Structures are given as structure tokens and as C-alpha cells.
Copies of this chain bind each other. A is one copy, B any other.
Amino acid sequence: MSTPTNPSFDIAHLGHVEMFTDRFDESLDFFTRVYGLTLSGQTGDSAFLRAWDDYEYATLKLTRHHTTGVGHVAYRASSPEALARRVAVIEASGFRVHGWTDGDESHGRAFRFEDPFGHVFEIYYDTVRFRPKGAEVPALKNTSAAFTGAAPRRIDHLNLLADDVTEFRRFMETCLGARVTEMIALDNGRLGGCWFTVNNKTYDLACTEEHGKGVGRLHHVTYATDSREDILRAADIFLQNGVHIETGPHKHAVQGTFFLYVWEPAGNRVELANAGARLILAPDWEPVVWTQVDRLKGQAWGLKTIETFHTHGTPPVAKDH
């Protein structure tokens, strides 16, 4: 197989994440009333949620399950042809293939496959657009309307844990044509973390090393806010609603993102982030490489990373109990 075009442009953007929760009602209350997503619809064991500027029907599919963690990760292709091209590449890649599914309320048929660490991915083109009705109709044509809770603007990225970040990188570059924008190169020669994008966002998926022997685990899912002030305000909202604030607000050294991490009621880590006006526009972007020495300086303004940030993932592993 030839070197994947970098970026391939075949994949347009991160579409949605399916999150598992073993406290469905509490999680749904959190995501709608506190975190501030809006409920597009509900069916069987899943609720379909979106941020106010997400153009699709759902960017978070919250599913009742006996565990927490991530159900699947979905990217939207740039066109039907691009979808077909990607499927051919994935089928030839040697990575595990699940095959086509019919989709659900939020999108049409999707092609599923799996990374070597147990995370299920899908790519799709046919989607369902959000069409506002009644009080949802925005005052301006190019915006939407939601001011409940933290009310982030759009889905931003997610972070998955993997035993071998280098192998995960091969998966992302091969299957999605993603490119690396920043990475952590450890002294032992391994990658400690890797940040990927399929478009001009600085990253839509990050992978960091699994330290808990878990399989297919989620580190966090993130929505973007318009400003850092939105995140400071969200911190007060989380505090008032008894949400566990893990760390932040502060600024990441890697990617320079202003962040705030909380745990939703079932324990999945959720972030709010603001990248300012930063974009990756250079077609020949040179990945930023952080060394172990760099990382010892802590976050951008010196905050030491909290211990649970390195150990907590969902679902939890035995030793977490």
C-alpha cells in the first residue's frame, strides 16, 4: 500500500461519539441541564445530543450500558466517492473490519472498523441535519439558540487510550488519512501522546498511552467554547451543580488549548476547551515534538498535571475499584 496522502481530505470532520453510561438518567440530566447540549431526540437506550452550532442532528449519542466508556467514534466523509475510497483503503489495511451498518436516527449507513486497542470507528457520508423548529429557530440565520448551562458551541475532539501510540498513529494515518499536529516523544523512544487532525482544526482526536492495562478505553470527550470566559463561567456552573472538577481551567502546553475537565455522573471525563483562533493551515505542517523534559514543566503556566489525569479512564480497570 502506498503512503497515505497527508491530509487525504477524504474525511471531512469528526462527526459524533457514542458514550456509554451506567447512570443514564443522571448523565442525560448532566449533559442537557448542566453541560448545556440540546436533545435532538431519544430512542430505545440512546439519547441524541448536539451543541448549538453543530449542524448535524447529533454529535453525542449517549447510550445506556452496563459500563461507561466509548461505544464508537464516527467521522463524516467528504463525499460519497471519498467514503468509497476510504472503505477500500481500510479493507486493504489489515486493521479489523466490522463492515457496514444501517446507521441510526442521526445518520445513514456507516462503515465500521476497529483500531488494535479495541475502539470501534465508523465513517459515513449520509447524515441528518438539525432543522430548528419553534423556539429553536435562531434570531440570525447562521446561528442557533441555546444558553442553558455551559452551552458549548460544537463538538471538538476526543482522547483515546492505547497501549502503543505509535501503532495507533499508523491506524489513524492509514484509515482516516489523518495527520499529526503535535506529539510527545518519550525518552524511552515511545510516543507518549499524539494529536491528529483531518482538517484545519488543531486536533480532532488525541491518543495517549494507556497505563492501566485497560482495553478500548476513553480518556475524554471535548466540546469547544467560543471564549475562555465561557470556560470560567462553566467552572462556576459545574461547582454549583456538584460536578466533580478534575483540573483546570488552565492552558495546555501541548496545543495551547484552554481547558477544563470534569467527570459526568457516570465517571466519563468531559472537557470544555477553547483554542482561540488557532488553526493548522499549513499543508506541510511540521509536527511539534515535546520531550519528556518539556513535559516536566507542567502545563503552559506551570500547573502540575493531576495524578488522576494519568490513571482515570472509562470504563475503569480493576485496580480502580
Interface residues of A (CB under 8 A from B): 9, 12-13, 53, 55, 76-79, 82, 138-143, 145, 147, 149, 153-154, 156, 182, 199-201, 224-230, 232-233, 235-240, 242, 245-251, 253-256, 258, 274-279, 281-284, 288-290, 294, 300-303
Contacts and interface: CB of A to CB of B under 8 A. Distances in A.
6 contacts: A13-B200, A53-B278, A82-B283, A147-B149, A235-B300, A249-B301
A90 to B, nearest CB: 19
Contacts of A232: 228, 251, 258
Contacts of A228: 227, 229, 232
A260 B68 CA distance: 37
B199 A240 contact: no
A77 B281 CA distance: 11
Nearest to A285: B55
Contacts of A301: 235, 238-239, 245, 248-249
Contact of A277 (B77, B145, B154): B154
B249 A142 contact: no
Contact of A283 (B12, B145, B289, B302): B12
Nearest to A11: B283
A253 B140 contact: yes
Contacts of A242: 139
Nearest to A302: B245
Name the residue among A138, A224, A232 with the largest chain B CB count within 10 angstroms.
Answer: A232
Given A283-B78, A302-B245, A278 B147 contact: no
Contacts of A258: 232
Contacts of A253: 140
Given A140-B256, A182-B142, A199-B200, A239 B300 contact: yes
A264 to B, nearest CB: 16
Nearest to A228: B232
A67 B255 CA distance: 41
Contacts of A240: 138-139, 145, 147
